[in-house]
Structure 1
Amino acid sequence: MFPVADTAPAPTGALATRLLILANALVFLLELALPEEVREEFFYLFGIVPARFTHPRWAEWVGFPVDTYWPFLTYMFLHGGWIHILGNMWTLWIFGDNVEARLGSLRFVFFYLFCGLCAALVHMETNPDSTLPTVGASGAIAGVMGAYFVWFPRARIILLVPIFFFPFFFEVPAFFYLGFWALSQWFSGSLALASPTEVGGIAWWAHVGGFIAGATACWVFRIGKPKTRPLQPDEMAHLWAWHSRR
């Protein structure tokens, strides 16, 4: 299932969401310009390698810089390939503008970074001995999805589901789609922990940690911000635009 769009009112501007997408894109172009062996070293230095922080003597022996915690920020802006960054940025574009409208642009940036930090800490806690680098914005974006889950549960998510190479479109409540997504990450993460060997790939628990952080902390980041005026019945016609085309 791949989200195509949502029916929540799209606010104008979304400056912070656009700037975050731009920052990720620029860093990705920088990655592409690096030779492959340099790019791998780049990921190890600026991605999250849990054993680097849980086993400092090993990290020093291997040659990691000592007493630097920049990777907890920089890992959010690194991506392993075109599918990785395009999927993350598209998801951020769909869910980010509405959450940004609730928080305001500056608070949204801090909220985004906070969720990414929580995602990294959960990943490190659940994979303390991993020597593989974890990169990507998906933990921070999972936090945005968690806030969307709390604030826009009745919005509709339009999903693309390929069946035998044919695209089919389905519309489901945001509460159902995001809840199912979060449970699938938890289930996959649990299976990964049960594996007897270290497995690279998707950081399932980073997604879980980011989602929970976003769903629980979104109200904290909104403290002191004036409440938005609720929509009146005659202002909600756009919410049903998708229905009118079916």
Structure 2
Amino acid sequence: MFQLTPTVRNLLIANVVVFLIAQQVPNHLGFLALFPVGSPYFQPWQYLTHMFMHAGIGHIFSNMFGLMVFGPLLEQRWGGQRFLTFWLICGIGAGVLYSGVRYYELNKMRHDMEVFRQDPTDVHLQDVVENNIKNNAPAFDPAIRQLHATPDDQHLIQGVLTEFENQYQRSLNGPMVGASGALFGLLFAFAYLFPNTTLIVFPLPVPVKAKYLVPVYGLYELYGGIHQAPGDNIAHFAHLAGLLVGFVLVMLWERNRARFY
């Protein structure tokens, strides 16, 4: 049985309640998700509210399960107010940092599209694909070969530009939801403060100490963010941002306190 502490319990209830309401009126709660800066749907309050939105049962289950596993010991150490502050700062900070990453990515995509528009060669087409939509690169291979063979094919060029614009708009208006940034902050704090606690991680057949699990998990997220697979809609850099914010807070809060081994 989980020994739920008061703040962990209240966060769990709040997330579940918002999730259930969102299942009934999803179109009316879209303004709570975090949209990229520059999107017509972006609002500053989304840095907070996106933490209480989730994409599905599996998404909310994994985040709330992590909260129940790692949260109580941290709340017992810090107290409810400081634990809640940590959770919110990690979640909001992850959203802010991830917004910066998305802003850079979208600007890069727009710039590469304009370069191709001004000089529509197969080389510039390949640059747009490789630099911005690499996980969908095979779909553009025929167009790249055709443009190399017939560089003045205006119908092909306009079709590619239309597809790029559609991809850009989908990215610009694609929101992020979930408490994963806050959870990854908890993961770092737990591994730092309780490093030798053993955890059972499915599907690994043996227990793993927290101090080993979290760095490996962070490297996995970094790899997933850099080499994003086709169909992968996980915000890996938001997870890494949560780890980073958690690291900074823990270093500030725990400088003169002992860790548990």
With normalisation by structure 2, the TM-score equals 0.67
Q: Spell out the pairing of 1:24-103 with structure 2 (5 A cutoff).
A: 24-34=15-25, 39-40=26-27, 42-43=29-30, 45-50=31-36, 53=37, 55=38, 59=40, 64=41, 68-103=43-78
Match of 2:95? 120
Consecutive unaligned residues of structure 2, counting only runs of 5 or more, are 107-170
More strand by share: 1
Q: Deviations over 1:54-109 (max 9, x none)?
A: x2xx62xxxx37xx411000000000110000111001111111111221101111
Match of 1:158? 200
Local SS of the residue matching 1:80: coil
1:135 & 1:207 partners in 2: Cα distance?
12
Shift of 1:183: 0.9
Answering whether residue 216 of structure 2 is matched by residue 180 of structure 1, we say: yes
With normalisation by structure 1, the TM-score equals 0.71
Q: Deviations over 1:174-194 (max 9, x none)?
A: 1111111111111111123xx
Shift of 1:216: 2.2
Q: Which amino acid aligns with 2:35?
A: V
**Contact persistence 1:188–1:204 (CA under 8 A):** yes
Shift of 1:172: 0.9
Cα separation, partners in 2 of 1:181 and 1:200, compared to 1, 3 Å = closer
Large movers: runs of 4+ above 6 Å:
228-231
Consecutive unaligned residues of structure 1, counting only runs of 5 or more, are 162-167, 232-246
Cα separation, partners in 2 of 1:229 and 1:153, compared to 1, 3 Å = closer
Q: Spell out the pairing of 1:143-154 with structure 2 (5 A cutoff).
A: 143-154=185-196
**Contact persistence 1:48–1:134 (CA under 8 A):** yes
Match of 1:204? 236
Identity %: 29
1:210 & 1:229 partners in 2: Cα distance?
21
Q: Which amino acid aligns with 2:176?
A: T
Local SS of the residue matching 2:29: helix
1:71 & 1:139 partners in 2: Cα distance?
14
Larger Rg: 2
**Contact persistence 1:185–1:204 (CA under 8 A):** yes
